[in-house]
Structures are given as C-alpha cells and as structure tokens.
Amino acid sequence: MAGFPIMRSFCFFLFSYCFFTFIAFANVGVAGSSDFDEQVKKRLYQQLDMAGLTGVLNICTECVYDRNAVRDFYLSRDYNPAWIVEGQPGPGVRELIQTISEARDHGLVPDHYHLKSIHTFLEDSDSKFSVETAASLDLLLTDSFLVLGSHFLSGRINPTTIDPEWLVRLRNGNIIPTLSKALADGNVRGELQALLPRHSTYTGLTKALANYRKITDEGGWPMVPDGSTLRIGDRNPRVAFLKQRLAVERDLSQEVAEGDFFDEHLSAAVRRFQVRHGLETDALVGRNTLTALNVSAAERLQQIELNLERWRWLPEDLGERYIIVNIAAFELDLMENTDPVLAMRVVVGKPFRRTPVMSGTITYLVLNPGWEVPTSIASKDILPKIIKDRQFLSKMGFRLFSGWRPEDHEVDPESVDWNSIRPGTFPFRLIQEPGPGNALGRIKFMFHNPHDVYLHDTSSKALFSKEFRTFSSGCIRLENPLELAGHLLRGTPLAHREALEMELASEETRTVRLLEPVPVHLLYWTAWADNDGTIHFRNDVYGRDLILEKAMEQPPPRAFYQ
C-alpha cells in the first residue's frame, strides 16, 4: 500500500485540473456575445491552453512566433476574438493586411508576418468562417500585429546577438496595449506606423528605398568598363557608359548624358558622386571611383534596407544637442535640433581593433592629457618600436613604471633587456607625458563606457587627408578638437578660442566639466539621407553589413509539423 498516497495525490490533482478547467470555460463567455463568438472563444482558450502545456502554438503550417505575448493579449480580453466577429473579418483586418504589405517599404519581408497564410484563410472562406478557421485566423492576425509592431519599434534582429560590440540602447515597449488601443480606436495602421522611427534620416532612407527599388526593377544601371583613369577633356567610348551610369542616379542631368566626351558637366557630376560616396573629390574616375560606380543598384538597395534596420535599433530621443560619429564614414557631426552645426573628419579603429557602436554622455574634457598606455597597445604597438629604437620612449615623452600601484617605482628604460620581453607579456606601466607629441594631442572628451573609448586630439594630423581612415586602436581622433571643445564649453570662459589656447599653452593637465552634458552616439551607417534627401553610401569597412545581411536573410521559424 506504499503507493496509495501517490495515487491519491494524482487523483486529487486530476480532479482539481478538470474542475478549474470547467470553471474557466464556464466563465469564458461574455454577456451579449453570439453563440458563434462563444465557440470561437472556447477554441482560442483551448489552443492557448495547450500552447502553455506544450510550449508551441502552430496554426496549420505557420508557427506563432510570440506565443507568450499572444497568450497574454487574449487573457487580457477574456479570450474574446479580436479580429473575427460573428464569422466575418472585422474592420481592422484590411488595415493590418495593408500595413503588413507596406513592411516592404521599410526593408522588411511581408511574408515573415503570415501574409500568405492570412490570404489563404480569407480566400478559402466563401461566406462565413468555421469556428476552427475563425480562431486560427484570429491568432495569426494577433501574432502578425505583435511581431510587426515589435520589429517596427526595435528592429527584426537583436544586434547584440550578431555583434558583441553593438551597445546602443534599443527602443522597447509593450506592444499589447498598442494592439488593444488600435482595435478600440479602429486605427490599426496608424498605431503600427507610430512605432517606426520618426527621425528625418529614417524617412529619407524610406524614400531612397522606393527610388532604388524602382531603379533595380527597371534593370539597374550600366557598368563602366575597366580602363585607365578618365578625366575632363578625354574622348573615350567608356565615357558614354559613365554618363549613362551617372544619369540613372541623377548626378548628371539626362539632357547632357549623351556622347563620349568628358566635359565640364560630367566633371561636376563625378564630383557629386564622389561626395556622396566619401571619395576624394578630384573629378577623376580612377580605381576607387570606378569601384564605387560599379556597385550594382541591387547592392545599394540592400545597403539601404540594412541601415533602415539599424535605425530601428536606436533610441527614440538622441537629444536636443548631440554628437554623432559615423564610424563607416569617418565623420563627426555636432547636431542641434537635427541640424548639423559642426562637421569634421575623424580617424576610427583599425579593422582588427574596431570602434564599438554605443551611446554615452560627454560630461567633461581633459586639457593637456597624459596617456596611460593600455597593456595590449604597449605590447603590440610600442614594444616593436622600442626594440627598433632604444631612444623611442625618451623621444616620445614616455615614463616607465614597474607596475600599476601608486608605490611602484619609475624604471630607467636603459636598464631593461627589451629583447627578452615577448608580445603579450609586457610587464611595465607606460605613461606618456602631456606635450606636442602626445598620442591624445592636447584635449580629450570623456564619456563613461565599458570599452574605455573616447574622442581626442591627435598629433598625427596627416591621417585626415586619407580616404579610408581606420588607423586608431578604437578611440576616435578628431580633425578639429578645439572647435568641438568651444561648442561644448559654451557658457564658460573657455568657450572662447583665445582662452582655450592660453590654457592649453600651459601644458598643465586640467579637467573641465561641461555645464550641459552632451549625448554622443558612435554609430555605423553605410547608407543615409541628408536633410535635403541626398543619399550617401560608404564602404562596409568592418564587415558589419555582411553579418547583418546574413541575419536578415534567415526566415522565421516554421511549424513543427507540416
């Protein structure tokens, strides 16, 4: 009889489950509902209850993606159907289908939101749905709204799953109240569209997407044949291809797009193209310009789609006054109310020491900073230079210490057997004193972040003349740091250039706090639109487009049974 208590407990559990299931069904109804709607409610309860037990919710060949949110939504409305009323599609169904179809305008795939299955359900029902069909379609429509709304709000891909260096805070929110409000107000399309980014750059990219899709559908543009550099004054059969190519993107007017002579109109068009692609604006069609010209329209279309996704990852509010560093473009903009007030070139991290994507807030500046060299840089970059030139440390103003504790003593570099030190085992602490040769220049802009990355001046000014500026170890080197400092220090005496120059001339290290902290966003855009709608493209210098492209190509999960 040892098993009797177990059997008795099991019977009590079974009785309790059946009793409470019966009570749940008895209370599922709502006064005034039709018999048909009552039956649909019971079927919705059954399907969602089973999903809670099995962990899956399949509708024919479709997998309900966000089953937890779907279950919570129906629980909040006592399992009443949301979209199907007395066997007929309610008024919100058409709006939802339209909005799903328009997902293509944002670089998303409509069929990822059950569009084909929804159409199949609607086409297979000539007059009135069966209870089973009504419940299944209601679930699919709800899942479609919740998932599409989530993707509109914070993107289809979670960036941290494909790039650990992507630390920008995602927009997030509960889509269930949005769905309830959309149904109550009869405004399904409006509520969904309100979840999309409202920044003018996002809107500009959607317009560009439509334009480049049209170009792609019409066959794209001609490739310019390879050959020697083309320049003004040349007469060459390749020039005719070049003119046709530039006319498609409207860099060149169609009225002057004939012939094989490289004239002033074409020279100006090449410059416009080079500006839009971050190339040297010399009006010469050399190797880099030719490479950019021969990127296909389909590839440019995809770049726009990928960068629309990146915009959906960004916080809604970038700030009234903020800094944007576009890593892929090697450019910084200081923005005030979406208008640029200062722009400059920057140097970013090498491909194997990439500048991370993240947001922060600049709260203070350091004038005449010293540089405490990270161990990895000391080992990989500085050590080879010391071995090559034993006077390197003294020439560049470095001091050498035996460790990182305050009591650790300074070491004479001449006393060290540098040949015995191997990369990865650098045992010393290196500090570069303030001065004209300091790697951080005369000023650095500080914001808290886990990568210890910041903006700073540099003594290597020649690098700003390069087209592709990936030379740092992750920090951002500024072309005009004093101009940026003047803007950020407004309201203080150091906002004036003369006062700032005088302070820097002292070569004394000083920390200066900002009266108004300024948000800074380190971003990665390979396509964007100016305020006037001009579209710009850049190379994928870190390979981040390729990773995102592969992630976006992955189809949503299918049902576990077919």
Q: For the segment 260-284, what is each residue's pLDDT rounded down to a tens digit?
A: 999 999 999 999 999 999 999 999 9
- Per-residue confidence band for 127, with pLDDT thresholds at 50, 70 and 90: low
534-562 average pLDDT score: 85
List C-alpha distances in Å: 326 to 347, 360, 450, 491. Answer: 11, 15, 19, 28
Instruction: Please indicate whether residue 475 is annotated as part of the active site.
Output: yes
Confidence of residue 559 (pLDDT cuts 50, 70, 90): low
Q: How confident is the model at residue 166 (pLDDT cuts 50, 70, 90)?
A: confident
Flag whether pLDDT at 19 surpasses 70: no
Residue tagged 């007059």 (tokens): 127
- Mean pLDDT for the chain overall: 89
The catalytically annotated residue of 475, 487, 521, 536 is 475
Q: Token digits for 510?
A: 């000083």
Integer-rounded Cα radius of gyration of the chain: 31
- Please give the model's pTM, rounded to 2 decimal places: 0.87
Average pLDDT over residues 137-149: 96
Kindly state the average pLDDT of the residues 29-57: 78
What is the reported pLDDT for 302? 97
For residues 92 and 84, give the distance between their C-alpha atoms in angstroms, rounded to a whole number.
9
Model pLDDT, residue 558: 65
Q: Return the pLDDT at 10.
A: 38
Beta-strand pair 321-326/510-523: parallel
- Residues recorded for the chain: 562
Residue 330 to residue 524: CA distance in whole angstroms: 10
Per-residue pLDDT at 274:
98
Q: How confident is the model at residue 171 (pLDDT cuts 50, 70, 90)?
A: confident
What are the pLDDT digits (tens) for 481-495? 999 999 999 999 999
User: How many Cβ atoms from other residues are within 10 Å of residue 128's Cβ?
Assistant: 12
SS (H, E, C) 491-560: CCHHHCHHHHHHHHHCCCCEEEEEEEEEEEEEECCCEEECCCCCEEECCCCCCHHHHHHHHHHCCCCECC
Residues 342-388: tens digit of each pLDDT: 999 999 999 999 999 999 999 999 999 998 888 888 888 899 899 89
- pLDDT value of position 296: 98
Asked whether residue 25 carries a pLDDT value surpassing 90, the answer given is no
Do the beta carbons of residue 31 and residue 80 sit within 8 Å? no
pLDDT at 56 over 50: yes
- The pLDDT of residue 179 is 97
Share of the chain above pLDDT 90, in %: 68
Inform me whether the pLDDT recorded for 13 exceeds 50. Answer: no
Confidence (pLDDT) at 2: 42
Domains of the chain: 27-193 (no CATH), 222-295 (1.10.101.10), 317-370+436-550 (2.40.440.10), 371-433 (no CATH)
Q: What backbone torsions phi and psi does residue 536 show, to the nearest 5 degrees?
A: -120, 150
Residue type, 195: L
- Residue 33: pLDDT band (50, 70, 90) is low
Q: How confident is the model at residue 87 (pLDDT cuts 50, 70, 90)?
A: confident
Residue 45's H or E segment, with its range, is: helix 35-54
**Average pLDDT rounded to a whole number, residues 397-407:** 87
Model confidence at 53, in pLDDT bands (50, 70, 90)? low
**475 pLDDT exceeds 50?**
yes
Tell me the pairing of strands 331-336 and 470-472: unpaired
Mean pLDDT score, 84-94: 91
pLDDT band at 531 (very low <50, low <70, confident <90, very high): confident
**Across 15-24, 52-61, 314-323, least confident range:** 15-24
Instruction: Please determine, for residue 422, whether its predicted confidence score (pLDDT) is greater than 90.
Output: no
456 in catalytic set? yes
Give 21's pLDDT tier (boundaries 50, 70, 90). very low
| CA–CA gap between residue 332 and residue 205 (Å, rounded) | 20
pLDDT, greater one: 520 or 371: 520
Task: Tell me which of 112, 114, 151, 456 is the catalytic residue.
Answer: 456
User: Does residue 357 sit in helix, strand or coil?
Assistant: strand
35-39, 425-429, 558-562 — which is least confidently predicted?
A: 558-562
pLDDT in tens, 217-275: 999 999 999 999 999 999 999 999 999 999 999 999 999 999 999 999 999 999 999 99
Cβ atoms < 10 Å from Cβ of 216: 17
Pick 211 or 410 by higher pLDDT.
211
d(CA 309, CA 537): 16
